[in-house]
Amino acid sequence: MAGSPEESVKRPPTPDQRRGFLARMLALVCGGLATLPPLVAGLWVVLDPLRRQGGAAAFLPVTELPSVPDDGMPRQFTVIDDRVDAWTGFVAEPIGAVYLRRRPGSQQVEALSATCPHAGCFVEIDKAARCFRCPCHNSTFTLDGGIVAPSPSPRAMDSLECRVEPTGGIAVKWQNFLTGVAAKVVKS
Amino acid sequence: MKQSSSSSSSSRPGKPGLLGQLADFFEDRTGYRAFVHEALYERVPGGARWRYVWGSTLVFAFMTQVITGLVLWASYSASAQTAWESVYYIQHEMAGGWLLRGIHHVMAQMMVVLLALHLMQVVIDGAYRAPREVNFWLGLILMMLVLGMALTGYLLPWDQKGYWATRVATNLAGLVPLIGPSLQQVVVGGPDYGHHTLTRFFALHAGFLPATLVALLVVHLTLFRKHGLCARQPITRPDAMFWPDQVLKDAVAMLAVMAVVLGVILLPALRAVLEGRPIVPGELGAELGAPADPSQPYAAARPEWYFLFLFQFLKVFEGWGASGEFLGAIVVPGLVMGMMFLMPIVGRWDLGHRFNVGFTVALLAGVGLLTALAMREDYCATWIDAAALADVGELIEKTGGDEAQIAATLGNDPEKIRAFATRKKSWDAARHSRAFMDASEQAEVDAARAVALAGRPERIPPTGALELVRGDALSQGPKLFAANCASCHGHIDPQQADAQALLAKTSAANLHGFGTQAWVRGLLDPEQVAGPGYFGNTAHKEGEMVNFVQHDLTDRSIWKPEDIAAVIAGLAAEAGVTHGETTVAPEVALVERGRVLLASSEHCGSCHTFRDNGTAAGSAPDLTGWGSREWLVGIITDPTHERFYGDTNDRMPSFGKAEQGSLPMLPARQIALIADWLRGEWYRPAVAGH
Ligand code: FES
């Protein structure tokens, strides 16, 4: 502010000018330092969700073998588990849904997540057309979860690990995957 | 200038009045008159015009949102167990809540429309050109802030529609390169949707976004005043002042906007009056769906209509794989926004300005087209003749959808195959649309039911309204029955026109009206007992009961008609099914007589256990408490128990029995819900006047 630009180029800064510069810098530093703590604290809390991981994937009992008809038509089952939502704990809550299917005569059970790999809507089964269909953007999948081209979905339905216990109970490894990408990546 | 700014005090020389003194006091200390003057006495080149009102109506709309929003805030509670509940309370119980929410909801949509109009007007008038570039950019940012508030507001009621739309929107945010998944997690507030999704969306909706908007709006308006109005050229009329000429036009436009908003809210009330229905205030204004439930599919998931074009745009990239979704959700919208930011630069040339106008018009037309396409896909079943396409469905069912087989059926004629493919497309479209419309209708039914449950005298439990819905036999019963029972049993009203055709497809008893006298009468009718409504399609068709009804019961020397009537009354009294009706108490004497016959070893008691008649269990189902809740829960849990069918059980699974260490097919709670639903036992709101 003191003196025009030309003057300051020509002459060495006077002590007054130097003091002015120092004052400006100090003002900025003090002001900046004062506002930093609330900003840092705020950002710290805003980013807290990045520390939160979904529970490690576990095998959850879903149903019994006789409940899955061996006619090749998938059937929808609710997945039940304890769930924590921030400060609230739920005991035995429905947390999602899977489709289970048995091919004719087979004892093997295949499990597909009902979450659409496109953008996460709830995929439904279309018994008349013998396929899966997502009510959101019409992604269609074959009964074994394969993609029916052309599809908005970048990949087939997500299969889940599934095992039949000796007692006949069926357990499914419950996982969520990133949507909208070609690779099946587990969501942390 | 002096004159116009002077107040009443200057018109009366000498000592000013009390009001004038007060005005002078503040004038001396604040200089407010100059402010007011500057605000009101802005020159409008070429006079006031209707085309200049859009900006003012937007400010007005925003102020409306601030006022209604703050009051809504005062009654809203953002958490997964209280959001829906508090919005329900505002909408259905608080005085005027429906109007407040209605205005906030409809005005939000109005704002989007006004934004589009304002943008068009600015672009067509070239009001983005120097020196107004910065203000145009500010306007674009303001537009994004408004859209952001619309998006975040949609989730806050925490109903099915907001929940599922937000899932899609936040999943799309996950596609942003590099930071996508982290961004999604920060926005959602954790790995899953819940409390913190609500608290964060609410903080954005009512805090960060509007605060930023206000700050930028102040700059926007200041700059607007600095540059003055960008007048329509050529100027043919004399200039006018902002106050009162333009203000009058603005005020009229605001009134019109408010009239439209109120019209949209009140139209259903008018319709109700015309149709002679009572007006229910809670049903006016903004909708409230059923409480959000991640485990319940929601096939009617759609964003608000003004985001429908983005939703539809994702379908355009069918078959592009992951890059398609990335293009549709991130790249193209980003490029379009980028193009708009470049408008002031492109518009420096005359051709560029024309390009900008063309671009904006094309953009809005494209948005309109995509919206229309989305609507058409959803509602095409209203005009596609499904009956004419029935054969397509039949062929698919017959061949199991196998293409080679279909081709063979069509004689491998390429012409016919092509024609079939086209018709299959319409068949698919109609079915999908029908599914959407049915789902929307179901969503309305579910929403109404949730509201009815929330209005019970016991109020909503602390675990939230979702608990009420999940424990409600009326809404869960049909779903559970369809998923678990309907593959064998019918639930078909015999009075219904196509009842016989539907019954023919079932392979176990029709459970419609189970437990009522009518049901028992049919069971004891020799014509019906071996029909599809009872044992006709089961192994019991050849069983002792059928034999008994067809032979012994017709022998009038043993069974008199009044005895049969007594048994019917007695058995129905065991079930005690009321379907919520205040029952006409069955004749006590008749029921008593029925009980004697049920127990007697000469009659029913020869096979059936009834109370303490001493007939051993195992030969036929126990009739003690037949059809009661407890009896139904028992038979669904384990029909192979000796109390029921024992080893004569025909194919019915034991839904509630489990080997040690594994789960039953149905949890006890769901079995009880099926029993309650079959018995017609669920909460019924008291009807006014009863
Ligand atoms: S979310 Fe399933 S198709 Fe888009």
**What pLDDT digit, counting tens, does each position of B64-86 carry?**
999 999 999 999 999 999 999 99
Tokens found for residue B662: 């594994």
* Closest residue to A49, CB basis, from B190, B317, B439: B190
Distances in whole angstroms, Cα of residue B63 to Cα of each of A98, A159, B56, B103, B620: 47, 50, 11, 12, 74
Mean pLDDT on B454-466: 94
**Per-residue confidence at B583, pLDDT binned at 50, 70, 90?**
low
Return the bridge partners of A85, or none: A88
Q: Does A131 touch chain B (CB under 8 A)?
A: yes
- pLDDT given at position A188: 66
Mean pLDDT of chain A, nearest integer: 88
Q: Does B171 touch chain A (CB under 8 A)?
A: yes
Give 3-state DSSP helix, strand, coil % of chain A, rounded to 5. 25, 30, 45
Tokens found for residue B165: 């739309």
Nearest CA among A25, A109, A31, A119 for reference residue A66: A109
Of 1.20.1630.10, 3.30.460.80, 3.40.50.261, 1.20.810.10, the CATH number of B48-232+241-288 is 1.20.810.10
- pLDDT given at position A2: 44
- pLDDT given at position B229: 84
Q: Using the 8-state DSSP alphabet, how is residue A49 labeled?
A: G
CA angle B127, B129, B135 (to 5 degrees): 70
pLDDT tens for residues A144-170? 999 988 889 999 999 999 999 888 889
The nearest CA of chain B is from the CA of A18 a distance in Å of 35
User: What is the CATH code for A59-173?
Assistant: 2.102.10.10
Give residue B442 CA to ligand 1 midpoint distance, Å. Answer: 20
Q: Is the model's pLDDT at A7 over the cut of 70?
A: no
**Per-residue confidence at A37, pLDDT binned at 50, 70, 90?**
very high
Mean pLDDT on B614-633: 90
Q: Is A139 exposed, middle or buried (0-12, 13-18, 19+ CB in 10 A)?
A: buried
SS3 B427: helix
- In sequence order, the 6+-apart residues with CB closer than 8 A to the CB of A68 are A75, A100, A101, A102, A109, A170
Mean pLDDT on B483-504: 89
B414-451 as b/e: b if 16+ CB within 10 A:
eeeeeebeeebebbbbbbbbbbbbebbebbeebbebbb
Mean pLDDT on A101-122: 92
The nearest CA of chain A is from the CA of B432 a distance in Å of 8
**Per-residue confidence at B112, pLDDT binned at 50, 70, 90?**
very high
Return the bridge partners of A97, or none: A78
- pLDDT given at position B581: 64
Other residues' Cβ atoms within 10 Å of the Cβ of residue A143: 20
Mean pLDDT of chain B, nearest integer: 90
Whether ligand 1 lies within 6 angstroms of the CB of A155 is answered as no
Place of tokens 């009162």: B244
- pLDDT given at position B2: 41
* Count of A-B CB contacts under 8 Å: 167
Sorted by where each begins, the domain ranges of chain A are 13-51, 59-173
- pLDDT given at position A29: 97
Give residue A86 CA to ligand 1 midpoint distance, Å. Answer: 28
Q: Does B164 touch chain A (CB under 8 A)?
A: yes
Distance separating alpha carbons of residues B311 and B304, to the nearest angstrom:
10
Q: Is the model's pLDDT at A110 over the cut of 60?
A: yes
Q: Is the model's pLDDT at B423 over the cut of 50?
A: yes
Q: Are B578 and B676 in contact (CB under 8 A)?
A: no
CA B246 to mean position of chain CA atoms: 42
Tokens found for residue B338: 């980028």
Q: Atom 3 in ligand 1: which residue has the minimum CA distance?
A: A137
B494-518 as b/e: b if 16+ CB within 10 A:
beeeebeebbeebebbbbbbbbbbe
Q: Is B631 exposed, middle or buried (0-12, 13-18, 19+ CB in 10 A)?
A: buried
